[in-house]
Structure 1
Amino acid sequence: MTTPETMKAVVMHGPEDYRLEEIAVPTPATDELLIKVEATGVCASDLKCYHGAAKFWGDENRDRWVSNGVTPGHEIAGTVIEGSDEALSHHQVKVGDRIVIEQIVPCEECMYCQRGWYWMCGPHDMLGFRAHNGGMAEYMIVPPNARPHVIDSSIPPHHAAFAEPLSCSLHAVERANLTFDDVVVIAGAGPIGLGAIIGAAHKSPKQVIALDFDNAKLELAKKCGADLTLNPGEVDVVAKIKELTGGYGADVYIECTGHPSAVGQGLNLLRKLGTYVEYSVFGEDVSVDWSIISDDKELDVLGAHLGPNCWPQAIKIIESGVLPLDEICTHQYGLDDVQTALDQVADSAGASIKVSIVPGL
């Protein structure tokens, strides 16, 4: 296979200024891989970056996620087409392998990396956001500290790219420490919420309850493992869940909507000594009555970030064929239509669930 000299790539030039450009295909260094990008999912964080969100994952000194000259995209599936023996051995891949790639590129030197908490790396360089070009291009470099994983090449590329959000969802479920006796409520049946439903169902708790205002998404939640679905627009979910649990409330609540109202909802429907897990990208600050967390219920409130140590299981689930991925991965666009893809993700009332950029389209 002959690699062309130039390629199409989306390039950031500032908030709401992403341009499709013809640029040189990068040449991998001896410790890097070159992949042909086959699909890149569009995430809510991509949308937040596009609009110029303040702060960069807790770093108060960075006023924008946008990095001029960088190609966005971190939910990546592609085929290895070039790499030195050193790079191939280091990443445990071979030319021709289909891979998916963790979004964090850890420094391996900070306290977090040294203690094994690589997903919380201090510099926090990530594919498609700052130091490393992402997958909204025809080709991209896999840097030496990146963490690729091989996935079956028979999986459609946009399905394979779902490994990234699914691994994130599985991490949120892991944070919840589910038991067989738990009633688990998952707010939101978008990509992350559906992934959390999938992960929770695989843990076999007593009951998995999905919440969403879209009944079509709730039907899909059932296919992903939800035992019960509730539409907050049609039923008082706090009252209903307390009714179902003898007046106590749910054991675990995993928030996957990114809507401020879902936070208070979760605190209120949990039982005393319950567990709240937050996995969302919020567009605004959220205020709650913290006395519910402390004096009223003594809740465990946990955050979740990225998908550490969950990628092998996410890939196994995707490869198993048990998921309705055609219904989850709803919209695919070519590089020429990146603005349409971003707008599709922004349309919360639309029919999309997982939107992807497929360079071959």
Structure 2
Amino acid sequence: MPQQVRGVIARSKGAPVEIATVNIPDPGPGEVVVDIAACGVCHTDLTYRDGGINDEFPFLLGHEASGIVESVGEGVTSVAVGDFVVLNWRAVCGQCRACKRGRPQYCFDTHNAAQKMTLEDGTELTPALGIGAFADKTLVHAGQCTKVDPSADPAVVGLLGCGVMAGLGAAVNTGNVSRGDTVAVIGCGGVGDAAIMGARLAGAVKIIAIDRDDKKLEWAKDLGATHTINGGQVDAVEAVQELTGGFGADVVIDAVGRPETWKQAFYARDLAGTVVLVGVPTPDMTLEMPLIDFFSRGGSLKSSWYGDCLPERDFPMLVDLYQQGRLPLEKFVTERIKIDEVEAAFHRMHAGEVLRSVVVL
């Protein structure tokens, strides 16, 4: 039977979030209801609240989540009732041109639940990234559920659902960081620090963290950075070159997503190095550079979408590494909070006081 649960919604642009009663329908064909255990507070949720994604208010926020499958709809075979899952927003279709060419990490038609969750008055909700997990339960497509080790800490592994996977994958999947490489990461929030962790996991010998906040640089060191640069005090490009014998880094990851940071990444790389953009620009941002610089430097310029991950391949592997003590994902959890503390968590995140606040349900 349909259920009513608590959920955190954003009713209008910039308005504080609120707790509301959300109607969850029974799962239809290909759909799953998940009992949410924990959900991280991601900057993307704040961007939804502030109207930076689209204007399809009201939003049901939350997407970096883990939980237990409560019920499944017709035809669902990939997960079963009782499975512990991490939610994702890349449920590949298997039929688009990217999937048919063997590149499902670029799927152009990812699945979401067909039915809508609603408010008590019937108003349809737009779930953040097709998930909407700041709620006791949520309705998603079965492909958005990735089964992982049920003994893992829900508050930790749920973060793979977005920011941690985006950063880690930017280094490992998109940047192809390998043993012996030198890596520079611009921006040491959650995504940037995950990229640092990914570079360390891949065997980079020198990992240079760049930020304007000394507190964030300390976080970066704790997660694997071998060197730090305060970009507000020195020229970041020159500092990277000094640390690399004048050559630049093999891979530079821009986890900020602004024209000035992308230029820093471009000029801080080695002659044939790789730039990876994983920070998300706004639509109004533009870039003007001499075309000859692109030609004369060679190398690769890449954008990383969700860390170019395949959840069913990457999530279980990363959870296993975490369980073995080889991937300290727990260091991303700054605090555990209640569902009615999301608005306050947004303020702490915006002030740079936390890596991740995690709502525990």
TM superposition score normalised by structure 1:
0.83
Q: CA deviation at 1:262?
A: 1.6
In structure 2, the partner of 1:57 is: none
In structure 2, the partner of 1:31 is: 30
The structure 1 residue matched to 2:153, chosen from 147, 152, 156, is 156
**CA spacing shift, 1:180–1:24, aligned 2, 3 Å:** closer
Q: Residues 110-168 of structure 1: CA distance to partner in whole angstroms, max 9, x if unpaired?
A: 32333343443334566865794421111012313x24222333333221211122222
Q: Residues 32-71 of structure 1: CA distance to partner in whole angstroms, max 9, x if unpaired?
A: 2221111122222222222112xxxxxxxxxx52433552
**What is the percentage of aligned positions where both structures have the same residue?**
27
Q: CA deviation at 1:256?
A: 0.9
In structure 1, the partner of 2:119 is: none
The structure 1 residue matched to 2:350, chosen from 343, 346, 350, is 346
5+ residue gaps in structure 1?
54-63
Confirm whether residue 76 of structure 1 aligns to residue 80 of structure 2: no
Q: CA deviation at 1:266?
A: 1.3
**CA spacing shift, 1:190–1:130, aligned 2, 3 Å:** closer
**CA spacing shift, 1:132–1:262, aligned 2, 3 Å:** closer
Give the distance between the partners of 2:221 and 2:32, measured in 1 at CA: 40
In structure 2, the partner of 1:287 is: 287
Q: Aligned partner of 1:313: which letter?
A: M
**CA spacing shift, 1:217–1:154, aligned 2, 3 Å:** farther
Give the distance between the partners of 2:111 and 2:75, measured in 1 at CA: 23
**CA spacing shift, 1:75–1:168, aligned 2, 3 Å:** same
**CA spacing shift, 1:123–1:210, aligned 2, 3 Å:** same
Q: Secondary structure at the match of 2:56?
A: coil
Give the distance between the partners of 1:249 and 1:40, measured in 2 at CA: 38
Give the distance between the partners of 1:66 and 1:132, measured in 2 at CA: 15
**CA spacing shift, 1:123–1:152, aligned 2, 3 Å:** closer
In structure 2, the partner of 1:16 is: 14
**CA spacing shift, 1:239–1:130, aligned 2, 3 Å:** closer
Where do 1:1-361 residues align within 5 Å?
5-17=3-15, 18-53=17-52, 65-83=54-72, 86-87=75-76, 90-91=77-78, 93-124=79-110, 129=127, 132-144=130-142, 146-164=143-161, 165-173=163-171, 174-283=173-282, 285-291=285-291, 293-307=293-307, 308-309=309-310, 310-347=314-351, 350-358=352-360, 360=361
Q: CA deviation at 1:333?
A: 3.1
Q: CA deviation at 1:239?
A: 2.1
**CA spacing shift, 1:4–1:84, aligned 2, 3 Å:** closer
Q: Secondary structure at the match of 1:200?
A: helix
Q: Residues 227-246 of structure 1: CA distance to partner in whole angstroms, max 9, x if unpaired?
A: 22222234433223222322
**CA spacing shift, 1:142–1:115, aligned 2, 3 Å:** same
5+ residue gaps in structure 2?
114-125
Give the distance between the partners of 1:180 and 1:14, measured in 2 at CA: 48
CA contact (8 A) 1:28 1:83 kept: yes
Q: Aligned partner of 2:305: which letter?
A: H
How many residues of Structure 1 are paired with residues of Structure 2 in the alignment? Answer: 341
Give the distance between the partners of 1:179 and 1:23, measured in 2 at CA: 46
**CA spacing shift, 1:205–1:5, aligned 2, 3 Å:** closer
Give the distance between the partners of 2:331 and 2:260, measured in 1 at CA: 27
Give the distance between the partners of 2:233 and 2:67, measured in 1 at CA: 42
CA contact (8 A) 1:180 1:204 kept: yes
Instruction: Tell me whether 193-202 or 118-127 shows the greater mean CA deviation.
Output: 118-127
**CA spacing shift, 1:84–1:255, aligned 2, 3 Å:** same
**CA spacing shift, 1:287–1:82, aligned 2, 3 Å:** same
Give the distance between the partners of 1:311 and 1:116, measured in 2 at CA: 19
CA contact (8 A) 1:267 1:293 kept: no
Give the distance between the partners of 1:203 and 1:196, measured in 2 at CA: 10
